[in-house]
Amino acid sequence: MRIRNPQDRKAWDQFVDIYGPVIHRFVCQQGLQNADALDLTQEVMVSVNQAISRLDYDPHKGKFRGWLYTIVRNKIRNFWRRPKPGVRGSGDTGVNELLKNQTQEDDSLHQWEQEYEQQLCHWAIEQVRDEFRETTWQAFWRTAVKGKQAKDVATDLGISIGAVYIAKSRLVARLKEVIQTIVGE
């Protein structure tokens, strides 16, 4: 909702930070090359900017991510339908392989949601990283992200096992708080 306000530059920056990588990775997973994916990501951003200012998104009709997903999928479909300079469809094995590799809508939506959740977590981690001492951060990172045992992390960092659990708990709580702020918006 905040990106509707053209004066709220921070909201647009957050939107780009969170959704830009999601859109780009998702588009690449749909078979586009990096340069085409970058172009298409920009097209989506322009479409969102134009549509949001026209109030095309209605939160009462569904989630913002669903609305954005529809825009992205339509841009991808339009991309594949565009005539390519000097290229004619031949039906050869390369074309058949491309058709075979096209994902189903359900798989595509699942990929979209996974990309979003992953990017939101990465973004939230970047937001809170500087709020914690290095030892606290390392205790969290090594146990929650790297999957190391608390006792091994405690030994490596020279802290108690309890301190490792407390660090992890504090960081997870803070990450949930940051994520909830964004999801709530």
Same domain, 93 and 50: yes
**In terms of domains, do 100 and 10 share one?**
yes
Do 158 and 108 belong to one domain?
Answer: no
Is there a single domain that holds both residue 154 and residue 107? no
Number of separate domains in the chain: 2
Determine the 3-state secondary structure of 5 from DSSP: coil
- Whether 136 and 121 share a structural domain: no
pLDDT per position as a tens digit, 140-169: 999 999 999 999 999 999 999 999 999 999
Same domain, 120 and 170: no
**Full domain range(s) for residue 40:** 2-129
Q: What is the pTM of this model?
A: 0.67
pLDDT digits (tens, 9 = 90+) for 16-62: 998 999 999 999 998 889 999 999 999 999 888 888 766 666 666 77
